[in-house]
Amino acid sequence: MDHNDRSAKRTPTGALARYALYGGILLAGAWLAAPTVHADFERSFTLAGDSLELIDLIGEVEVVGYSGDDFQVTVTVRGDDAEEERIDFDLEQGGAARLHIRYPLDEERDYVYPRMGRGSRTTFSYDSFLGRSSGLLRELLGRGERIRIAGSGSGLEVWADVRLQVPSGKPATVRIAVGEIHARDVAAYLLLDTASGPISAVQVEGNLTADTGSGAVDVARVRGMVSVDTGSGAVDVEDCRGEEVRVDTGSGRVEVSDVDCERLDIDTGSGSVRARAIATDSARLDTGSGSITLELERMGAGRFELDAGSGSITLVLPADASARVRADTGSGGIDLNVRDARQKRLRSDRADFTLGDGDARVSLDTGTGGIRIRQR
């Protein structure tokens, strides 16, 4: 483990240095002491282990691939109150390695994070986030204790930005309360978790789980299973290949394109769902309020369920589709443009027909909104 001398301080390249020059003031023949100035400081760690869990309260985390055998972590502590005595680093080596960046939560529960923007704030409890961090903060935070993080105002202004280098094939978990997580060029399983803040992951060779309480999620070029969960925030998934692609959001639009998987599962409480250039054996797209579009390049013999509580549904079937299709709408009408349909029954609010041998089962249902089905 490479742990820099705690007495060393330096400003990272490209970072905004908080320097201030104070002039002396002559008063009654004496110089008044200049105020103490705190500078950002940096720590570097090498952690040996088969996997790593990183826990941070506030900041941005960059996750990148690494050709070595051990995890490399660089932590830069920033803010007007970035004193070395305020932050501790708990390390566990070997097996399931862990780095926990500890804040003075037993003394301070109000924090200022200027990147949130003036007027922004979030409050959360142990139960809502910290309980997921392997119980490491249990001794500092009892159930129901709350932490407030704001973009401005009173509180301790300190946060930790992290650069994590992940060896090939070694899983990594990143958990933060407020901040951003960005991953790229990683060949390992990743679990990225933030209570408030966006997540992005590009070029991941391995399964990916991205979970945010509030924030947008962008995923591209993943070769493995993809699971995205957000309480509120838009989700974009592009160019992914794996066994399953799953998206669950309480509120926010979902855009999925160029996906090849065995199962596609998209569920949003409120927001439109659009899935284009999809090759899958089965699919479920569900929104409480919003339109649904599914454009299939390939469809297997599984179940395809499209359900909108309120909103239109558009389904584009491949030219060689083999399926039994049933469509129901409370109001809005049904528009069909398919070839060689058999056992066809069409009413204003319901349609039943079969294409090819009828291998797949297709169900479309909307309470309010039109349904359009066409074949390439």
Q: Which residues contact 120 (CB under 8 A, 6 or more apart)?
A: 150, 151
CA distance linking residue 59 with residue 197, whole number of Å:
10
Contact in structure between 77 and 8 (CB atoms under 8 Å): no
Which candidate, 325, 320, 322, 323, places its Cα nearest to that of 306? 325
Domain locations along the chain? 1-215, 261-376
Name the one residue in this structure whose structure tokens are 């390390």.
91
Phi, then psi, of 132 in degrees rounded to 5: -85, -5
Which candidate, 293, 313, 289, places its Cα nearest to that of 365? 313
pLDDT per position in the chain (376 positions), as tens? 443 333 333 333 333 332 232 233 222 333 233 344 457 999 999 999 999 999 999 999 999 999 999 999 999 999 999 999 999 999 999 899 999 999 987 777 899 999 999 989 888 765 555 554 444 444 444 444 678 999 999 999 999 999 999 999 999 999 999 999 999 999 999 999 998 999 999 999 999 999 999 999 999 999 999 999 999 999 999 999 999 999 999 999 999 999 999 999 999 999 999 999 999 999 999 999 999 999 999 999 999 999 999 999 999 999 999 999 999 999 889 999 998 888 788 888 999 999 999 999 999 999 999 999 999 9
Position 343 scores a pLDDT of 76
Q: Quickly list H helices, the chain.
A: none
Q: Is 81 left (phi over 0), alpha (psi -120 to 50) or beta?
A: alpha
Burial 79-103 (b: 16+ CB within 10 A, else e): bebbbeebbebeeebeeebbbbbbb
Position 255 scores a pLDDT of 98
Token output for 29:
């023949």
Name the one residue in this structure whose structure tokens are 């003036």.
118
pTM over 0.75: yes
Q: Is 315 left (phi over 0), alpha (psi -120 to 50) or beta?
A: beta
